[in-house]
């Protein structure tokens, strides 16, 4: 069942169409990777969901109910972690969490224990320091802690790893993975390896339109790769053979003592074996190159630009 559904969303700034008939569906308890280039429309979409901005056309439904601009009660079940979090600088990290607990309506007697557990879960350092002394990465952790405090049905994160160092990034991705069956996560990012690492499904947005949406494995096989790699003790010989005699090959390259090549669309894997047998060339290993999300991303954008 879908928890969040966006249908034909349109948002314009003057003559610029930031969102153009955007459709998106986030299912319950999944981690949905919302990927796209900078300026593709990710943040505009998230701000529309949170009603920080109005939109021109379309419907956003949460838990089956269309959002109404006069009713923000749905926010009791949603947490939003912005890309550049900002808090009252005169408060300490713990005080920000206490204020957040008040906004959520958590009873006073339950606040301390809950806040302590969230601090531990998010590895928030120096909760008793003033926010003005926090780095951007620490503020991002604090924002995530505030988001989790609500124990939301849907956690929306806008580029949450953008300000984190590699260790911080890894621990955040681990945290997101650990939340997998607790809540639904809409995770916006342009760091594709992060999305590939944690997401169940992804949606690729470009120029305000969703170009691709689906299960991460489906998406990675969006177009079956036709790239192969051969490992051999006679790499040079194989390279020459494929360069001169393999008519079914589109491109051949020698990378790191491996022969990388792609097949023409009409070619089949058995053509490779036939060629190797004909010229009696022995190899150690032949395998299909796996696709990364980045490959798919580039492929889809290339196709879009060609179209």
Partner 1 sequence: MKTLLKYDWLYFIKTPRLIIFIALPVFLSALSALSARYMNVLLEYAMASEGIEGITFPDPTIEDAYIQFYSNYSQIFMIVFIFIGVGLLTIGITKNHYPFIFTHAVSKKNFLLSKIIILMSVTIVGMLVGAMVFAGYTYLLFETFDGLYFSLSLLMFILSVLFVLSIMSLMSFAFKSYIAAISLSIIIYILLTSLTGLKYGIFEYFPHRIFEFPILVTQKELDFPMFIASGITLFLSVFMIFMSIKVFKKRSLM
The footprint of partner 1 (CB under 8 A) covers 47, 50-54, 72-76, 78-80, 82, 84-91, 95, 99-100, 102-104, 146-147, 150
CB of 143 to partner 1, least distance (A): 8
What DSSP element (H or E) covers 268? none
Distance CA 234, CA 193 (A): 34
Three-state secondary-structure class, residue 212 = strand
To partner 1, the closest distance from the beta carbon of 229 in angstroms equals 46
Per the listing, tokens 């991303």 go with 297
Ramachandran quadrant class, 95 (left: phi over 0; alpha: psi -120 to 50; beta: rest): alpha
Q: Decide whether 11 or 201 has the Cβ nearer to partner 1.
A: 11
- Residue number, 18 or 26, with CB nearest to partner 1: 18
158, two tokens:
């806008």
- Which C-beta is closer to partner 1: that of 37 or that of 75? 75
Minimum distance between the CB of residue 203 and partner 1, rounded to whole angstroms?
22
* Cβ neighbours around 69 below 10 Å, total: 8
Q: How far is the CB of 164 from partner 1 (least distance, A)?
A: 18
Give the number of residues written for the chain: 307
Say how far apart CA 196 and CA 213 lie, in whole Å: 13
Choice between 51 and 235, CB closer to partner 1: 51
Q: Give the pair of three-digit tokens for residue 254.
A: 């020698």
- The residue (of 155 and 296) whose beta carbon lies closer to partner 1 is 155
Q: How far is the CB of 194 from partner 1 (least distance, A)?
A: 21
């Amino acid at each position: 069942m879908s928890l969040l559904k966006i249908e034909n969303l349109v948002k314009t700034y003057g003559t610029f169409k930031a969102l153009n008939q955007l459709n998106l569906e986030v299912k319950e308890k999944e981690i949905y990777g919302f990927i796209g280039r900078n300026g593709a429309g990710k943040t505009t979409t998230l701000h529309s969901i949170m009603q920080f901005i109005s939109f021109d056309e379309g419907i956003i439904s949460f838990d089956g109910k269309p959002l109404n601009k006069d009713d923000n009660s749905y926010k009791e079940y949603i947490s939003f972690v912005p890309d550049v979090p900002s808090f009252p600088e005169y408060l300490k990290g713990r005080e920000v969490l206490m204020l957040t607990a008040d906004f959520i309506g958590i009873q006073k007697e339950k606040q301390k224990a809950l806040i302590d557990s969230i601090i531990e879960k998010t590895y928030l350092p120096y909760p008793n320091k003033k926010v003005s002394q926090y780095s951007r990465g620490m503020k991002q952790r604090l924002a995530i802690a505030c988001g989790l405090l609500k124990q939301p049905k849907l956690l929306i994160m806008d580029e949450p790893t953008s300000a984190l160092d590699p260790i911080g990034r890894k621990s955040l991705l681990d945290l997101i993975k650990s939340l997998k069956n607790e809540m639904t996560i809409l995770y916006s990012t342009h760091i594709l390896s992060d999305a590939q690492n944690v997401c169940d499904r992804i949606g690729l947005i470009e120029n305000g339109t969703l170009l691709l949406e689906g299960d991460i494995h489906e998406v990675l096989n969006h177009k079956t790769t036709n790239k192969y790699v051969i490992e051999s003790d006679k790499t040079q010989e194989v390279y020459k053979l494929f360069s001169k005699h393999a008519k079914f090959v589109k491109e051949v390259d020698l990378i790191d003592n491996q022969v990388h090549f792609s097949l023409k669309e009409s070619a089949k894997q058995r053509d490779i074996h036939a060629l190797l047998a004909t010229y009696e060339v022995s190899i150690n290993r032949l395998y299909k190159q796996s696709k990364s999300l980045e490959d798919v991303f580039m492929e889809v954008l290339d196709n879009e630009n060609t179209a």
